[in-house]
């Protein structure tokens, strides 16, 4: 079956530091890949997505590239801000029809950015 593995947190960084959160996946076919962000007390929001190999998703300074050869979708940001403190979830959506686009989530990585 499908699975997503994320690096464990918390990740604690100083403001303006470089961020990488690793994500690898196991899936059949060509899934779509997503990063969701959850701010305290809120639901999940889509941060970025990529639907095929070598696609780069980007939003709000965050980027992730769909690497089929390494089955990875690592999240990066060049300069984090305090407002980026949140929990980040990597997820994949199955390729096959009839799956109702069910998402498989990683366990989440908490990011704390300090002044």
Partner 1 sequence: NAGVTQTPKFRILKIGQSMTLQCTQDMNHNYMYWYRQDPGMGLKLIYYSVGAGITDKGEVPNGYNVSRSTTEDFPLRLELAAPSQTSVYFCASKGTESNQPQHFGDGTRLSIL
Interface residue list for partner 1 (CB under 8 A): 32, 34, 36, 41-46, 49, 51, 89, 93, 100-103, 105-108
Task: Between 25 and 34, name the residue whose CB sits nearer to partner 1.
Answer: 34
Task: Between 43 and 70, name the residue whose CB sits nearer to partner 1.
Answer: 43
* Least gap, CB of 41 to partner 1 (angstroms): 8
* Least gap, CB of 18 to partner 1 (angstroms): 25
**What angle (nearest 5°) sits at the alpha carbon of residue 108, between those of residues 29 and 51?**
30
Q: What are phi and psi of 84, to 5 degrees?
A: -85, -5
Q: Is the dihedral of CA 18, 110, 26, 57 positive or negative?
A: negative
CA distance 60 to 54: 20
Strands 32-38 and 11-14, sheet pairing: unpaired
* Least gap, CB of 103 to partner 1 (angstroms): 6
Task: Between 18 and 39, name the residue whose CB sits nearer to partner 1.
Answer: 39
């Amino acid at each position: 079956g499908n699975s997503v593995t994320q690096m464990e947190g918390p990740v604690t960084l100083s403001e303006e530091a470089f961020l990488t959160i690793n994500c690898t996946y196991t899936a059949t076919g060509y899934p779509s890949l997503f990063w969701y962000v959850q701010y305290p007390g809120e639901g999940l929001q889509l941060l970025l997505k990529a639907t095929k190999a070598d696609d780069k998703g980007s939003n709000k300074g965050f980027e992730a590239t769909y690497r089929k050869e390494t089955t990875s979708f690592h999240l990066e940001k060049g300069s984090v801000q305090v407002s980026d403190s949140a929990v980040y979830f990597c997820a994949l959506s199955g390729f096959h029809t009839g799956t109702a686009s069910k998402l498989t989530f990683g366990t989440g990585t908490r990011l704390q950015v300090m002044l």
